[in-house]
Structure 1
Amino acid sequence: MPGGLVALLDDIAALARLAAASADDVAAAAGKAGTKTLGVVIDDAAVTPGYVVGLSPARELPIIWKITLGSLRNKLLFILPVALLLSAFAPWALTPILMLGGLYLSFEGAEKILKAVQGKHAIAEVAAIEDPAVLEARQVSGAIRTDLILSAEIMVITLNELTGSPLLTQAGVLALVGAAVTVGVYGVVGLIVKMDDIGLHLARSGGAAAGFGRGLVAAMPVLLQTLSVIGTGAMLWVGGGILIHGFAQFGFAAPEHVIHALAVGVGRGVGVVEWAVGALGGALVGLAAGAAVAGLLHLKPGAKH
C-alpha cells in the first residue's frame, strides 16, 4: 500500500511537471506570436475610439465595455474553434483567409480616404442620427464588425506561428493572445476616450495639475484626428502587408522582393528607416488593392456615392 501511494504521488508530480511545462510552452509561444500581430493591434487601438465620437460621455465606457465583450466573443467563441478546425483539417486555407481579411482592411482604408477626399466625415454622419439608442447600436455593431475582421487576422497570424504545435498548445496560445490583446487594446481605448474628462477634473482641481489638465482637454481633438489618420494608415499597411506575403506564398514574390530591396537600399542599415519604407510599400499596395475593390463596389447599380 505505501508503495502504491508513492507511485501515485510520483505520477501526480509528473503530471504537475508536464502541466507546468505546457504552461511555459503556451506562455512562450504566446509572447512570440503576439509580437507578430503588433500591426493589427495598433490598427485596432487606433480605429476604435472613432466609434464613440458624438456619443454621450456618460455612455462612453459602457459602450467600450460592450465592444470589449463583443471582441472576446468574436475571438473565443467564434474564431478560435474555427481556427483550430482549419489548422487540423484544412491548413492550406489559412493563407487565403488571411488575404481576404487583408483585402477587407485595404478596402476600409481606401474607403476612408475616398470619403475624406469627397468631404464626407464620420462625425457628420453620426450627427445626422438623432436617436441616441439607434446611434449607440449603430456604433457598437460597427465596432464589433470591424473587430471581427481584426480579431480573425490576429488569431490566424498567431496560428501561423504555431505550425506543428499540439492542438492543446494552439488552443491555449490562441485563447491567451486573444484575451490579452482584447484587454490591452480596449483598456487603452477606454483611457483615450476619457482623457478629456480626466483633463477637465485636473483643470478644476487647481494647483500645478490644472495647466496639465487644460492641456489634455485642448489636445483631445488633435489626438482623435491623429488616431483616425494612424488607423487609416495602419489598415492600409497591415492589409497590404498581408496581401504581399500571401502572394509570395503562392509563388508571386516580386512585390515582396521589390519592397524589401527598396527598404534595404534606402535604409542603408538603419532599422527604423527600413521598416518605414517597407510599411509605406505595404500601404501603397493596400491602397491600390482597396481602391480597386472600392471602385468595383461603387460601380454596382444602386451603390451609394
Structure 2
Amino acid sequence: MAGGLVALLDDIAALTRLAAASADDVGAAAGRASAKAAGVIVDDAAVTPRYVQGLAPERELSVVARIAKGSLRNKLLFILPALLLLSQFLPWVLTPLLMLGGAYLCFEGAEKIWEKVAGHEKQEVPMSAMGSEREDQVVSGAVRTDFILSAEIMVISLNEVAAETFWSRAVILAVVALGITVLVYGVVALIVKTDDVGLALAERSSTVAQKVGRFLVRAMPKVLWLLTVVGVAAMLWVGGHILLVGMDELGVPWIYDAVHHLEEAVAGAIGVAEGLWTWLTNTAVSALLGLAVGAVVVAALHLLPRRRAAH
C-alpha cells in the first residue's frame, strides 16, 4: 500500500513537472511571438490614449476598459479562429499574409513621417468635444481600429509558432492575445491617469509631492511623443524585416543574402560586440527597406491620385 502511494506521488510529481515545463514552453513561445509584434504594440499604446483626451476623469478608465474588452473579443473570437484554420488547412497563405501585414506596417510608419513632414498630421477629436452621447460611437471606432492592429499582432505572433501543433498554437496565441491586451491597455490606463495623479500631488502641501506632481504633468506630453516616435521606428523595422525574411522564404533570397553579408562585414570590421553590431545592421537595413516600401505605398495611395485629379 505504501509502495503504491509512493508510486502515485511519483506520478503526480512527474505530471506536475511536465505541466510546469509545458507552461514554461508556452510562456517562452508567447514571449517570443509577442516580441516580434513590438512595433504594433507600441503604436497601439501610443494611439489609444488620444481617444479619451478631454474626457471627464471619472470616465477615462471605464472607456479604456470597454476598448480593452473589445480588443480581447477581436483577438479571441474572430482573429484567432480564422488564423488557426488558415494555419491548419492553408499554411502556405501565412507568409504572403504576413508580408501583407508587414507592408501595411511600412505604410503606416511612412505615412506618419509624411504627415509630419508635410504638416498634415491627423488630429483626433477629443471625446469631450463630441458630447457624452457619442461615447459609444467613439468606443466602437476605437475597437474597429484596434481590429487592424490586433490582426497584425496575431499574424506576426502566429508566424513565430507555426511549427507547433494545432492546440499548442491555439493556447500560445490565446496567451499572447490576453497578455498583449492586458499590457497595452494597462499601459494606456497608466498613461491617461498619470496627469490626474500629477495634479493631485501638485495640490499637496509637501514640497516634494508638488515637484513630483508638476514633473508628471509636464512629462506626459513628452512621453506620448516618445511613444509615437518609437512606434514609427519599430513599425518600419518590423515591417521591413518581415518583408526581408518573407522574400527569402518565397524564393527571392538575394536581398536577404546581401544583408547577411553586410552584417558579417560590419561585425568583422568593428571586431567587438559582434552580435550587437549584427543586430544593429539588420535593424537599420530593415528599417530603410520598410521606409522605402512604405514611401512607395504612400505615393501610390496619396500622391498619384492627386496628380490625376489635377490634370
With the shorter chain as reference, the TM-score category is 0.7 to 0.9
Distance 1:303 1:111 in 2: 20
1:180 aligns with 2:179: yes
Write the distance in 1 (CA, Å) between the matches of 2:309 and 2:192.
Answer: 31
CA distance in 2, matches of 1:303, 1:19: 62
Aligned positions of 1:1-305 closer than 5 A: 22-123=22-123, 126=125, 130-133=129-132, 136=135, 140-207=139-206, 208-266=208-266, 268=270, 269-270=272-273, 271-298=275-302, 299-300=304-305
Q: CA deviation at 1:202?
A: 1.3
Take 2:59 and 2:255, find their aligned partners in 1: how far apart are those partners?
A: 45
Amino acid across the alignment from 1:231? G
Q: Hey, what's the Cα distance between the residues in 1 that align with 2:53 and 2:294?
A: 25
Is the CA contact 2:201–2:212 (under 8 Å) kept in the aligned structure 1? yes
Deviations 1:83-140 (A, max 9, x none): 11111101111111111111111111222122212212333x5269942358756654
CA distance in 2, matches of 1:145, 1:304: 30
Query: Which whole-Å CA distance do the structure 1 matches of 2:54 and 2:185 have between them?
Result: 18
Q: Are residues 303 and 249 of structure 1, via their aligned partners in 2, closer, same or farther at CA, if it must alter by over 3 Å?
A: same
Deviations 1:200-229 (A, max 9, x none): 111112322221111111112222222222
Q: Contact 2:36–2:157 at 8 Å: present in 1 too?
A: yes
Query: 2-side partners of 1:134 and 1:238: how far apart?
Result: 39
Q: Is the 8 A contact 1:46 1:230 kept in 2?
A: no
Where does structure 1 lack aligned partners over 5 or more consecutive residues?
none
Equivalenced residue count is 298
CA 100–137 in structure 1, closer or farther in 2 if over 3 Å, else same: farther
Structure 2 residues without counterparts, runs of 5 or longer: none
TM-score (normalizing by structure 2) = 0.80
Q: Residue 220 of structure 1 aligns to a residue in which SS?
A: helix
Give the Å deviation of 1:182: 0.9
What is the percent sequence identity of the aligned residues? 52
TM-score (norm 1): 0.82
